[in-house]
Amino acid sequence: MKISKTKNRRWIYATLVLMLLALISFSILPIVSSIVQASQADQSSLVTPETTRLENEALGYQLVLEREPDNENALLGLLETRLKQGDLEAAIAPLKRLAKLNPQQSDYAILLAQSQQQLKNYQEALKTYQEIIAANPGNMRALKGTVDLYMQQNRSQDAINLVQNSLDKAIAEQSNQSPSESVFNLTSLQLLLGEIYSEQQRYDDALVIYDQAIKGDQDDFRPLLAKGLLLRKQDKENEAQTLFKQAILKAPVQYKEQLKDISLQRPQPEE
């Protein structure tokens, strides 16, 4: 019976993650976002059996939480209902509580920070990311989220400082213990720093970082891919294709077709 409950909880959580990601991916798809948001606005002005049912569900969970504020089933239920309503702002409260109740799991806190960022609560999002990084300095999702937040606010130097400091710590750790014991992933940090440089059009700096990553882990396909994409951006397609081929050879099976598709894409000219 316990196994069944655990599996059910995982399934519920996976469903909630997908629903939440669907809401917070609007910044990536602005056209789709405007259509969906318009649809949500239209729906909000209509009282339908479904909207009434969802509001009653939310009220039921809230009544339970008034008596038992730490009831995780009620919190998950309220979160799911708010997401079904398309109300990301109302999803913040149960997400905050779930993150506080599960400090050993960063997933809730990551989703909370991403939601706060999507709602333009940048200070709150930054605070949440910083709390995650303080507990686990090598959490790449929190580091990447913080970098994205800084870049969104035109704070590129803060982004560079964050990643460079993490890199310095990773290198220091690597000299004292094996990579498997380190809380940092050195290659991932190098790729993140290279991405920042690339966005700033500091291509030479990005290439230096990618070359260091390629040399540091010759079994990882990601630095080869990153360098290839940057060379393509610089209209060096022949050199890029050489790197794409190497990346395809090193990549796990599940990524090979996707990399082949990337290699066949036509270079996009700079605007």
Percent of the chain with pLDDT over 90: 63
Query: What CATH number is associated with residue 100?
Result: 1.25.40.10
Is 230 a member of any domain?
Answer: no
* Confidence check: pLDDT of 23 > 90: no
Lowest mean pLDDT among 30-34, 87-91, 103-107: 30-34
Contact 145, 124 (CB under 8 A): no
Is 150 a member of any domain?
Answer: no
Is 74 a member of any domain?
Answer: yes
pLDDT of residue 20: 52
* Rg of the chain, C-alpha, whole Å: 22
Tens of pLDDT, residue by residue over 200-219, are 999 999 999 999 999 999 99
Is 66 a member of any domain?
Answer: yes
Query: Which structural domain, as residue segments, surrounds residue 64?
Result: 1-27+52-135
Q: What is the pTM of this model?
A: 0.78
> Domain count of the chain?
1
